């Protein structure tokens, strides 16, 4: 068997980088309770038994599964696989009672500690960064609409080719990543470019699954955000663009109607702009 050459080595590298990143991440605190491990693992295994019976899975398929699972580990795409196909349900469960701005999945490409600015900033970007110039501005308030000072708005997004800095090679470290601290009026304004839709790398194990099943590999163009303020609950979310490709059929099922932006031509005459309000729930 010949191993196909990667049509896009940049893409495959991103999955692997996400695994390296994740192994350095400080994991969410909290003891893992033995009774819950037993209950959850038992139910997960039983759910798979049920699938095997329902579909009369035979040995060729069982071996294909084993080979594929081994490959996901080898090519470092577990973070990608989990965040694309499972994370949205974890988010749904965890954020069920939130009253303010809705959350959605974090995905594999967040990096803490991006450059900090106050009130208004241009995201770090290359000379001649490709893409439609875009002003993303708004306010951070509490649930009653009172502006929050010193709220942190962390923004990260893909470039016009769909690549993230620190995951795809050849992009400056903090490209299209930044944090704004709001002033007393709770306002922030980011000057950036509109990101492109994101395609799951076609040359890794997740791409192989998508191709074997005849699915599509696309997420709609999106902005990633973490918004927080003293005494408030942090929200991890994403914003999408009305009418954009795959807003209706995100492979990661992470779009919610209240997270869709409707940008208008910018008053400056160049590019587009939009205003969005974040409302934060009180800390638990
Ligand atoms: C992404 O950019 C992303 O946001 C998710 C959730 C999965 C893969 C790539
Ligand atoms: Fe993303």
DSSP string computed for 21-35: HHHHSPPPPS---HH
DSSP state of 271: S
- Quick one: what percent of the chain has pLDDT higher than 70? 95
CA–CA distance, 202 with 164 (Å, rounded to integer) = 16
Ligand 2 centroid–CA 158 distance in Å is 7
User: Atom 4 in ligand 1: which residue has the minimum CA distance?
Assistant: 107
Q: 94-280 belongs to which homologous superfamily?
A: Aromatic compound dioxygenase (2.60.130.10)
DSSP state of 282: B
User: Atom 5 in ligand 1: which residue has the minimum CA distance?
Assistant: 107
Beta sheet of 152-157, edge-to-edge order: 116-118, 177-181, 152-157, 222-228, 235-241, 260-261
Ligand 1 centroid–CA 281 distance in Å is 25
- How confident is the model over 58-76, as a mean pLDDT? 97
> What's the pLDDT at 131?
98
Q: Which residue has the tokens 């914003």?
A: 239
| CA distances (Å), origin 218, targets 186, 196, 202, 282 | 34, 11, 10, 35
Confidence band (pLDDT; 50, 70, 90) for 140?
very high
Index of the ligand 1 atom closest to the CA of residue 106: 6
Ligand 1 centroid–CA 240 distance in Å is 13
> What's the pLDDT at 29?
67
- Quick one: what percent of the chain has pLDDT higher than 90? 88
Q: Which residue has the tokens 């922030």?
A: 188
Higher pLDDT, 231 or 24: 231
Confidence band (pLDDT; 50, 70, 90) for 1?
very low
Sequence ranges of the domains in the chain: 94-280
Lowest-confidence pick of 23-37, 138-152, 183-197: 23-37
Confidence band (pLDDT; 50, 70, 90) for 9?
very low
Mutating to test ligand 1, I would choose from 108, 176, 222, 223 the residue with most ligand atoms within 8 A of its C-beta, which is 108
pTM of the model: 0.93
Q: Which residue has the tokens 């074997």?
A: 212
Ligand 1 centroid–CA 175 distance in Å is 17
Q: Which residue has the tokens 């509490």?
A: 142
CA–CA distance, 221 with 272 (Å, rounded to integer) = 15
Q: Which residue has the tokens 């954020």?
A: 95
Ligand 1 centroid–CA 186 distance in Å is 28
- How confident is the model over 45-50, as a mean pLDDT? 98
Pocket residues: Cβ below 6 A from ligand 1:
80, 83-84, 105, 107-109, 198, 219, 252
CA–CA distance, 170 with 80 (Å, rounded to integer) = 21
Burial class of residue 177, CB neighbours in 10 A (0-12, 13-18, 19+): buried
| CA distances (Å), origin 26, targets 23, 31, 104, 268 | 8, 14, 20, 42
């Amino acid at each position: 068997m010949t191993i196909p050459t990667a049509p896009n080595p940049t893409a495959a590298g991103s999955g692997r980088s996400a695994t390296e990143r994740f192994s350095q991440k400080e994991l969410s605190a909290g003891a893992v309770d033995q009774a819950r491990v037993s209950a959850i693992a038992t139910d997960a295994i039983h759910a798979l038994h049920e699938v095997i019976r329902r579909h009369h899975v035979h040995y060729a398929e069982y071996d294909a599964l084993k080979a594929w699972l081994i490959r996901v580990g080898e090519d470092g795409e577990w973070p990608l696989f989990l965040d694309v196909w499972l994370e949205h349900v974890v988010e749904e469960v965890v954020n069920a009672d939130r009253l303010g701005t809705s959350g959605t999945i974090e995905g594999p490409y967040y990096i803490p500690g991006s450059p900090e600015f106050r009130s208004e900033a241009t995201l770090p970007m290359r000379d001649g960064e490709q893409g439609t110039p875009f002003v993303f501005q708004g306010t951070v308030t509490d649930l009653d609409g009172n502006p929050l000072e010193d709220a942190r708005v962390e923004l990260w997004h893909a470039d016009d080719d769909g690549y993230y800095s620190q995951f795809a090679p050849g992009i400056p470290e903090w490209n299209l990543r930044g944090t704004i601290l709001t002033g007393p009026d709770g306002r922030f304004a980011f000057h950036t470019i509109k990101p492109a839709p994101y395609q799951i790398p076609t040359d890794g194990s997740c791409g192989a699954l998508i191709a074997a099943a005849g699915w599509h590999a696309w997420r709609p163009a999106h902005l990633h955000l973490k918004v927080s303020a003293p005494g408030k609950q942090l929200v991890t979310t994403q914003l999408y663009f009305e009418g954009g490709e795959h807003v209706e059929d995100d492979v990661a099922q992470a779009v919610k109607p209240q997270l869709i932006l409707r940008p208008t031509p910018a008053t400056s005459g160049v590019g587009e702009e939009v205003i969005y309000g974040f409302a934060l729930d009180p800390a638990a």
